[in-house]
Amino acid sequence: MSHTVEIEINGLPFSIETGKVAKQADGAVVVRYGGTVVLATCVAAPSVKEAQDFFPLTVEYRERMYAGGRIPGGYFKREGAPVKKETLTSRLIDRPIRPLFPDGFRNEVQVICLTISADPQNDPDILAMNGGSAALCLSGIPFDGPVGAVRVGLVDGTFIANPTNDQQAASSLELVIAGTEEAVLMVESGAREVPEETMLEAIAFGHAECKRLARAQKDLVARAGKPRWSFDAAAGTDAELTGRVRSLAAQKLAAVLTTHEKQARSEAVSRVFGEVWAALALDEAKKPAVRAAFEAVESAEVRRLIVEKGMRVDGRKVTEIRPISIELSYLPRAHGSTVFTRGETQALVAATLGTKSDEQKIEALEGEIWRHFMLHYNFPSFSVGEVRRFGGPSRRDIGHGALAERAVEAVLPPKEEFPYTIRVVSDILESNGSSSMATVCGASLALMDAGVPIKSHVAGIAMGLVKEGDKYGILTDIMGTEDHYGDMDFKVAGTEKGITALQMDIKIAGVSLDIMRSALRQAREARLTVLGKMREAIEKPRPELSPYAPRFVTIKIRTEKIREIIGPGGKIIRGIQEQTGTKIDVEDDGRVTVFSPDNESVQKALAIIQDICREVELDRIYLGKVKKIVEFGAFVEVIPNTEGLLHISQIAETRIRSVQDVLTEGDEVLVKVIEIDPSGKMRLSRKMALRDQPALADKEKLKNPQAANPPRA
């Protein structure tokens, strides 16, 4: 039997249905909004794997191309590895649900969401977030949901829940928020320099919608939910062992945790664990349990120092930023580069300028999309002194890169004014927290170093939270330890005017708007400090591009001439590029941009293009080339790719028996345009050209020696 709940959002019904499809999954729902439909399922393993010491939750989101009435490109013609959008949506689903599973739950859980229908106006990601939560709540798996999720836009000063794609294009804000009825769990936002107070209002507006969606899910669970699994979080824990570890470790950890340098602190903590393990003298099989108890003691000590004493493990005050150093133009051949170091976090960031041919083609449900700005983030294992497989980008790499990309994109110049394709790459060389925000700062600096006319600097700062009961501490510029043992990771990026990107993840049941207001205020103060340091390094974009970056000149031609520049199969444009050593981009509106580090090459290519695009004028004399001889005359190319008919009667002053008596293919002859009909066909005259301009006769290059004085008939 199927059950459905429905609420209205932005004038459309938002429905969640269960009991009709995918009935062998532990939980399954179909979420509909407009013409967009998402199937969300979850399955949990009935038992825990032997020696499983972590919670194995996996979330997978995929878009079926048939959902948009499309066939995948490529050789295999089927969906393959997840694309960026799918990876980012998987993270959006994962982040708010993960903290709602009880501590100690170790059964493997898999959430799979499939977009099976997509209209061009309603993004399926919000449907998948709500669907994943609803499926978990229906399944009976221990999960403290439900979680509602909504997108918020800001159009003409009005907040809109789940804006259409057209509305979002006009919005100065894109905010995705997820929360329970009690508190906000996750925020992900991009904005055009939106003030902090406006962002808080958007979060409050979005959370109200999340509550409605959470209540709808509860209604569905009341009708169709499965019995909840019995699970005791305390079962399997050894209180006696935990107490022994605490008594052996607490005092020693309190002493070594104040070691300021990361590696030295890590080594000192490892020594304490070794001493505790030796003192316990237990069987090796007990080591994972001892390790877990030891980490709980370490977490408690880190949190106690912050909440009770306002002390951090590196000795800073809660509002203090780590020392910052900036080195510009670090790479001699990159178009723009910087090494940005904040404490023990260091990013090498490089900017590269390319042409339209370097744009990224994205195959999406709504069709092909071309991106001219890309920011890629890499987190190699050596940055944290570890050894692990060196492969492609992880979900974390993609997520951090997308956050930094949103932060910087808001200040880029319009493509019409700066028609380069821009790629920024951030390689993290050292990491002790907040590497994504170091990437934001480094990207802004590298773009200015490259001479990209961005509107202003963008800085990022990561805020943390430690909350014990009613007491809490908000931390500025958090380190890895504070991120690991804290309750919130709140990243804020922006300019002096306002926020351009925001990301918040919560490890507890949620946070209040008052805490977020305090965190945003503290983050703004820190951001302004970092922006000041960045301005000291470089005040504004360099006036000149790197000598290795391509220069460009843009001209406008008639759209009818585009095909003549490109030529059959791109033959003409390829030839110009090979001849001049340039890159040429041609837009549909007739804008032609020529790129080359060498200005002489640009001018040479422009001259060829302008020659091709020249318009033939009536009554004007041209030196044309004979392309073809026919019985009644010759076809002469007046300008490149434009021919006219030189009739036999117009070749010479006197009558000639045959065209070949005067002309051969390849001859250069003077001709006058004597007629252009409405279809563009031209009639030419050599005799009139010679009559009007006899002094130009010696410019002709005729292969037939009789041509100058043809025999009389």
CB 124 within 8 A of CB 165: no
How much helix, strand and coil, in percent to the nearest 5, is found in the chain? 35, 30, 35
Strands 551-556 and 591-596: antiparallel
Structure tokens at 312: 């951090």
Rounded Cα gap, residues 93 and 99, in angstroms: 12
Rounded Cα gap, residues 586 and 548, in angstroms: 23
Closest Cα to residue 648, out of 639, 635, 667? 635
Given this model, what pLDDT does residue 713 score? 40
Alpha carbon 351 to its chain centroid, in Å, reads 15
Helix residue ranges, H only, 140-195: 165-169
CB 133 within 8 A of CB 31: no
Please report, as a single letter, which amino acid is at residue 664.
T
Closest Cα to residue 86, out of 137, 143, 38, 14? 38
**Domains and their CATH numbers in the chain:** 3-224 (3.30.230.70), 239-309 (1.10.10), 324-537 (3.30.230.70), 551-613 (3.30.1370.10), 621-699 (2.40.50.140)
Structure tokens at 574: 């390829």
Rounded Cα gap, residues 396 and 385, in angstroms: 18
Q: What is the DSSP string of 537-600?
A: H-SS--SS--TTSPEEEEEE--GGGHHHHH-GGGHHHHHHHHHHT-EEEE-TTSEEEEEES-HH
Given this model, what pLDDT does residue 261 score? 83
Alpha carbon 643 to its chain centroid, in Å, reads 48
SS3 label, residue 511: strand
CB 149 within 8 A of CB 126: yes
Alpha carbon 35 to its chain centroid, in Å, reads 26
Averaged in consecutive runs of 10 residues, what is the pLDDT profile of the chain (713 residues)?
Answer: 95 96 96 97 92 89 94 85 94 95 92 96 97 97 95 96 95 95 92 95 96 97 94 70 84 81 85 84 80 84 81 85 96 97 96 90 84 96 89 91 96 92 97 94 98 96 87 88 86 96 84 86 96 97 91 85 88 92 89 87 89 83 91 88 89 88 90 87 91 85 62 43
